[in-house]
Amino acid sequence: MDVRAGEKPLAWQSQPVNDEGPTYALAKDVTARNESEPALRESERRYRLLAENATDMIGQWDPQARIVYLSGASRALLGYAPEALIGRDGYELIHPEDVAAVTAAHESLLRGAERARVVSRLRRRDGRWVWTESVARMLLDAEGRQAGIQFATRDITESKRQMDALQQAEERLRHAEAESRRARDAAERANRAKSAFLARMSHELRTPLNAIMGFAQLLELDDLTAEQRESAARIVGGGRHLIEVINDVLDISRIEAGEMAIELAPIDVGATVDAVVGLVAPLAAERRMLVRIDLDAQHAHACADGHRLKQVLLNVVSNAIKYGPAGSEVLVRTVADGERVRVSVTDAGPGIAPHEAARIFEPFERLERDAATEGTGLGLALSRNLVGAMGGEIGVRPAGDGSEFWVELQAAGAAPTPVAQERAPTRESELAGTLLYVEDTPSNAAFMRRLLRDAPGVELTVACDGASGLAAARDHGPDAIVLDMALPDIDGLAVLERLKGDPASATIPVIAVSADVAPEREAAVLEAGAVAYVQKPIEVDRFTRLLTSVMTRPPQPDA
């Protein structure tokens, strides 16, 4: 009962002690309550107005998770009028697989969490499931007790579908990337295995070739009949051709495995062309052909590896001479446009049809009409890989009755790079002294004895393994050592390191001989102290000059 006492509204509550005793009454000042009720009613009116016009479904659960309020948005979201769901258990509409997530969110609010967010599926009136996102908070009564849960729920079916599609796409992308990595790793392993196999095969081929070509070159130095000299020359020529094949295969394998070091620098293209034309001059003279140079770009510089660019141009120009008709002309021309430098080689050969242009850059591909001309079918394939590794392009197109091969590289504006010219040393001294040859292959030892047969001033000692070689070097102190790098007991590099680490042999010059043509192997041997690294098969003239440079005695004055 509310009454007014003076100027204050009071709320009275009375209760008799017993049937016959007095009645006690309690009066409470309700001024603040009466003043706040209009504001509370207005706040509730505004809240319901907002809730009824919101696109999200606004709702409320009581402490037992029964639905006590839903906004009109329930019609669009669930297909139910709000009154159809009032009093029902809120969990009835939740997908069984999502009950655990909703329960966890509910319990976090009961434990005092300020808010909880949950994604779940709700069942519509037509039986379909709709994906929803709800943000909920705990409601407290005037005494601070938990009075229920208020939530706002929106339809995220379309965004969930898009998100799932994106996740599936990302998963497919991750799977594709993983497959790509596995394929790349497998390809790299295969390339490494191929490179290792080819390196081993190269070693096995070079070792017997060393004896074949060595003895053939020594035969050429003897007094032979014309027929015998021609036979020896054919043996040497065939051996060198086989070495070219081996080297080209190894180079292609290294490029494919990413193991070939390409050192890019500004290269004087005109100077490189001059050097290449000089190298092919004997072949051109043999076929009575003229190689003409047109340096339209006189001082053009390209970003390239000088050695590899020379290798490519030497291959292309040599092909133009080999396949062109005798007595014809080959034109080598350079053109620069500021950004690119092009070298073209035009011949008067049989020409290459457009459908054949791609084939000739594949390994071991040769056109049928070229079968009579000596070649491996590897030169252009190697050239394509080398030019690609330098960031350039190579191609061919028809040019009159012949063909025009072209190489195009990025231009580089720098000072000319000197082109080193190899000069044969003059022999001012006679080969003499004591030589230790550490070699386990009898045919190679026999070759060395035959090579030095005409050098009576040389005393040769042969050691057949690393241990014997170390002992001989220590006991006899030779003037020079020729060390094979593949020995049956100790690796040649280890032998070299021991020789250089022993004061008794540290100053003896060591020439390393190996069938291993890997650049890293050569670098390691030279770094360990060898004065030279000679690849098998040995070129007699060069090897003789090298021996002369480390084993000499002053020339005797005339009597």
Whether residues 189 and 309 fall in one domain: no
How sure is the predictor about 416, in pLDDT bands with cuts at 50, 70 and 90? very low
Q: Give the contacts of 327 (CB within 8 A, at least 6 positions apart).
A: 287, 288, 289
Lowest-pLDDT choice from 214-218, 354-358, 401-405? 354-358
Q: Give the contacts of 527 (CB within 8 A, at least 6 positions apart).
A: none
Which of helix, strand or coil describes residue 160?
helix
402/140 Cα distance (integer angstroms): 95
- The DSSP secondary-structure symbol of 292 reads E
Whether residues 275 and 373 fall in one domain: yes
How sure is the predictor about 234, in pLDDT bands with cuts at 50, 70 and 90? confident
Say how many CA atoms lie within 13 Å of 116 toward its Cβ.
23
* DSSP per-residue codes, 192-229: HHHHHHHHHHHHHHHHHHHHHHHHHHHHHHS---HHHH
Which of helix, strand or coil describes residue 11?
strand
The tokens 């350039």 sit on which residue? 392
- 79: phi > 0 → left, psi -120 to 50 → alpha, else beta; which? left
- Average pLDDT of the chain, as a whole number: 80
How sure is the predictor about 438, in pLDDT bands with cuts at 50, 70 and 90? very high
pLDDT for res 213: 79
Whether residues 135 and 43 fall in one domain: no
Asked if residue 420 is part of any domain, the answer here is no
Residue 420: exposure state from Cβ atoms within 10 A (0-12, 13-18, ≥19): exposed
The mean pLDDT value for 530-540 works out to: 87
Report whether the peptide linkage leading into residue 537 is cis, meaning its omega lies within 30 degrees of zero: yes
How sure is the predictor about 10, in pLDDT bands with cuts at 50, 70 and 90? low
Q: Phi, psi (5° rounding) for residue 553?
A: -135, 145
Asked if residue 419 is part of any domain, the answer here is no
Asked if residue 418 is part of any domain, the answer here is no
Whether residues 361 and 252 fall in one domain: no
C-beta of residue 354 within 8 angstroms of C-beta of residue 369: no
Q: Write the CATH number for 134.
A: 3.30.450.20
71/48 Cα distance (integer angstroms): 8
The residue among 92, 122, 155 that closes a domain is 155
Whether residues 286 and 400 fall in one domain: yes
- Greatest alpha-carbon pair distance for the chain in Å reads 166
The answer to whether residue 391 scores a pLDDT higher than 80 is: yes
Whether residues 288 and 234 fall in one domain: no
111/105 Cα distance (integer angstroms): 10
Mean pLDDT highest for which of 108-112, 184-188, 416-420? 108-112
Asked if residue 421 is part of any domain, the answer here is no
Number of domains in the chain: 5
The mean pLDDT value for 154-176 works out to: 90
316/318 Cα distance (integer angstroms): 5
Q: Write the CATH number for 288.
A: 3.30.565.10
Mean pLDDT highest for which of 74-83, 225-234, 542-551? 74-83
pLDDT for res 215: 82
pLDDT for res 120: 95
Closest CA to 439 of 214, 199, 196: 214
Asked if residue 423 is part of any domain, the answer here is no
The residue among 155, 180, 199 that closes a domain is 155
Q: Which of the two residues, 514 and 6, has the higher pLDDT score? A: 514
Q: Are strands 329-336 and 290-295 parallel, antiparallel or unpaired?
A: parallel
Whether residues 63 and 116 fall in one domain: yes
Tokens encoding 349 = 């050969």
The answer to whether residue 538 scores a pLDDT higher than 70 is: yes
Tokens encoding 73 = 């948005």
Whether residues 28 and 103 fall in one domain: no
Whether residues 434 and 547 fall in one domain: yes
109/104 Cα distance (integer angstroms): 9
The mean pLDDT value for 394-413 works out to: 86
The answer to whether residue 5 scores a pLDDT higher than 60 is: no
How sure is the predictor about 101, in pLDDT bands with cuts at 50, 70 and 90? very high
428/72 Cα distance (integer angstroms): 111
How sure is the predictor about 48, in pLDDT bands with cuts at 50, 70 and 90? low
The answer to whether residue 104 scores a pLDDT higher than 90 is: yes
- The DSSP secondary-structure symbol of 66 reads B
Q: Give the contacts of 131 (CB within 8 A, at least 6 positions apart).
A: 119, 120, 121, 155, 156, 157, 160
Domain interval for residue 197: 162-256
Asked if residue 386 is part of any domain, the answer here is yes
The answer to whether residue 125 scores a pLDDT higher than 70 is: yes
How sure is the predictor about 414, in pLDDT bands with cuts at 50, 70 and 90? very low
The answer to whether residue 423 scores a pLDDT higher than 70 is: no
E strand or H helix at 98: none
Whether residues 61 and 44 fall in one domain: no
Whether residues 139 and 236 fall in one domain: no
Whether residues 374 and 460 fall in one domain: no
Asked if residue 558 is part of any domain, the answer here is no
176/468 Cα distance (integer angstroms): 57
- The DSSP secondary-structure symbol of 94 reads B
Q: Write the CATH number for 218.
A: 1.10.287.130
Q: Which of the two residues, 366 and 302, has the higher pLDDT score? A: 302
The answer to whether residue 41 scores a pLDDT higher than 90 is: no
The residue among 205, 236, 256 that closes a domain is 256
> Alpha-carbon dihedral of residues 50, 51, 56, 59, nearest 10 degrees?
160
Asked if residue 324 is part of any domain, the answer here is yes
Q: pLDDT (tens digit, 9 = 90+) per residue, 345-379?
A: 998 877 777 767 667 777 655 554 444 445 555 67
